[in-house]
Structure 1
Amino acid sequence: MNRDTPVWLRLGSLAFGLLFLVLPLPAPFDTLRPHLLALALVYWALESPGRGGMALAWVAGLLADVVAGTLLGEQALRMAVLVFLVQRFRAQLRFFPLWQQSAAVGLLLVNDFALMASIRLIAGAGLPGWGPALAPLVGLVVWPWGFLLLDSLRLRHRERAGGR
């Protein structure tokens, strides 16, 4: 990881995303749970390309499979595909205004949901309920706030490191 990206911030944001997967929430909010791990991986793929993006996504996805108790490899594949798409379109995504970037992230999360549904159908688990189908919409709304939070923490660290 480069000097602009502290290890604790990258790993901490991913650990928070993993923790949020299993955090108990009241029933109405549980169906609207955003996939914060996916959002954190998208952020780091945009801001620190070439810093273990695909490998990090695969490992984070495997950890998410273990933590959430899903089919082993399901989220690993989903997160790797997500990061691949972000890396593929990084040049365009980085220069979108935040509202357009949010819409693009929402579309990436719709793709993630379609991949999840496909994997579960192939595995014989049936279609997911309507709750996970709303996750891309929630991710679209949460993205600007998460982006601004992680960006401000990253930039604050860069200012401190530059002043030494």
Structure 2
Amino acid sequence: MRFSFGQRMVVYLTLLAGLILAVMPMSAGLQAWRPEWALMIVIYWVIALPHRVNIGTCFVIGLATDVLLGSHLGIHAAAYSFIGFIFANHYKRVRNFSLSQQGLFILVMVMVERSIVYLVEYYVNNAQMTSSYFFPALSSAVIWPWLFLLMRKIRRRFGVV
């Protein structure tokens, strides 16, 4: 089966939406709770289409996140690639999890991603960790079931296989 241009565009547009949501302005009170939109959307596609969206896609989205957030080039790319590797190797198991179990797995994986980014930033820039550093992991876990259902609806509506 071929991956048509329209199907490819649906995947690219959802990934672009994740990148836009990653830099969209938020109020100061909610800024600390911003979910990892780009990571969650690329995770969805790795789970749903592991033969089409893979670690390379995770790396490119990570590079785009680095550019958009102004961090050192490659930090998010390495973290997203690591998380993508885990999901690519275990996509069959993750598909069989309930949405709440997937949410808990997302919580752990976003915490791993945030830890990788922090460690690199600490060694490069001597960054300090705030008490709200892992809040995005909590908000990502809470939002995951709705994001998963929305992405599945988009995938089915446009026939992305």
Give me the TM-score of the superposition, normalised by structure 2.
0.91
- Paired residues in the alignment total 158
Cα deviation per residue 1:120-153 (whole Å; 9 max; x = unaligned)? 1121331332333111100000100110001011
Amino acid aligned to 1:60:
I
Unaligned runs of 5+ in 2: none
| Residue in 1 that maps onto 2:156 | 155
Structure 1 runs (4+) deviating above 4 angstroms are none
Counterpart CA distance in 1 for 2:16 and 2:120 is: 25
After TM superposition, list the pairs within 5 Å mapping 1:1-164 onto structure 2.
2=3, 6-158=7-159
Cα deviation per residue 1:26-66 (whole Å; 9 max; x = unaligned)? 10111110010000011000000021411111111111111
Unaligned runs of 5+ in 1: none
Q: CA, structure 1 residues 154+127, in 2 after alignment: closer, same or farther (shift >3 Å)?
A: same
Amino acid aligned to 2:101:
Q
Counterpart CA distance in 2 for 1:149 and 1:69 is: 29
Note the aligned Cα RMSD (angstroms): 1.7
Identity %: 23
Amino acid aligned to 2:98:
P
Instruction: State the Cα distance separating 1:14 from its structure 2 match.
Output: 1.0
Give me the TM-score of the superposition, normalised by structure 1.
0.90
